[in-house]
């Protein structure tokens, strides 16, 4: 079974088309320029031939999330909470400065240009600070294992927050909806994988998985008695 597939970055692609000539299955030759991962063997020949470096090989399945050390979690999560409060404060100051600026411009009460510039500078500075803190916080949460929707940490955290909101303005309904979507997605994936069967092509040796009741080898097109089911 293949462990990697080719993907094309359309922004980097310079249409040299060398990948079309070297691909053994024609996976790179598609109408929308997106490589057909079902046909892709994961050989990497196209990635090596691409002069613009637009094709990369990515794993079919990613390794399970590594468990974080307790001391990392113990420090990262409280720090993330602190950063969240800092972001909220910065946004509040930015909104206040913007409101002052809009109010003074609407009133046209002779406020000096210096005062207007001051409010505008505070607004832009606090907006930038809020965005900067958000980026730092996302890194902290990612390191704590809370940025992967499929992770158990996220499920547990969402459930805790839905039952006991961390603040008065916490979007409980949004958390409940996201949690339900994640659970439904997991069930769909389990059902989909349960219906898949693995086959080995006796003609070319390719091993593949499919839900089709009448499987066809994606490499050589063999079917019927030329395929054997693999447990």
Distances (CA, A) of 58 to 2, 52, 61, 191, 209: 11, 17, 9, 24, 18
Q: pTM of this prediction?
A: 0.41
C-beta pairs of 68-76 under 8 Å, 24+ apart in sequence = 68/143, 68/144, 68/145, 72/143, 72/144, 73/144, 73/145, 76/140, 76/141, 76/143, 76/144
Q: What is the pLDDT of residues 129-183, one digit of tens each?
A: 999 998 888 787 777 666 555 566 677 778 888 888 877 888 888 888 888 887 8
What would the two tokens of residue 127 be? 């907006």
Short-list 51, 56, 50, CA closest to 6: 56
- Write down the H helix ranges in the chain: 18-22, 45-49, 70-107, 113-144, 152-163, 172-195
Q: Is the pLDDT of residue 22 over 90?
A: yes
- Summarize the confidence of residues 67-85 as an average pLDDT: 80
Q: What integer pLDDT is reported at residue 56 of this predicted model?
A: 93
Least trusted range by pLDDT, from 61-65, 128-132, 150-154, 190-194 = 150-154
Average pLDDT, the chain: 83
Least trusted range by pLDDT, from 55-59, 89-93, 176-180 = 176-180
Q: What percent of the chain has pLDDT over 70?
A: 90
Q: What integer pLDDT is reported at residue 129 of this predicted model?
A: 93
């Amino acid at each position: 079974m293949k462990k990697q597939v080719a993907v094309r970055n359309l922004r980097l692609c310079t249409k040299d088309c060398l990948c079309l000539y070297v691909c053994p299955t024609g996976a790179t030759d598609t109408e929308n320029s997106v490589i057909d991962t079902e046909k892709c063997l994961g050989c990497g020949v196209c990635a090596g031939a691409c002069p613009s470096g637009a094709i990369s090989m990515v794993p079919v399945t990613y390794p399970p999330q590594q468990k974080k050390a307790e001391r990392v979690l113990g420090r990262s999560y409280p720090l993330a909470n602190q950063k969240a409060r800092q972001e909220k404060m910065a946004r509040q100051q930015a909104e206040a400065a913007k409101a002052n600026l809009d109010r003074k411009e609407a009133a046209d009460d002779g406020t000096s240009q210096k005062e207007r510039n001051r409010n505008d500078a505070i607004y832009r500075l606090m907006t930038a600070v809020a965005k900067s803190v958000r980026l730092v916080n996302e890194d902290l949460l990612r390191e704590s294992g809370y940025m992967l929707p499929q992770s158990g940490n996220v499920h547990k955290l969402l459930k805790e927050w839905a039952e006991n909101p961390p603040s008065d303005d916490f979007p409980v309904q949004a958390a409940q909806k996201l949690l339900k979507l994640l659970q439904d997605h997991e069930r769909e994936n389990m059902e989909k994988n349960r219906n898949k069967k693995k086959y080995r092509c006796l003609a070319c040796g390719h091993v593949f998985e499919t839900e089709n009741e009448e499987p066809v080898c994606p490499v050589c097109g063999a079917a019927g008695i030329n395929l054997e089911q693999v447990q």
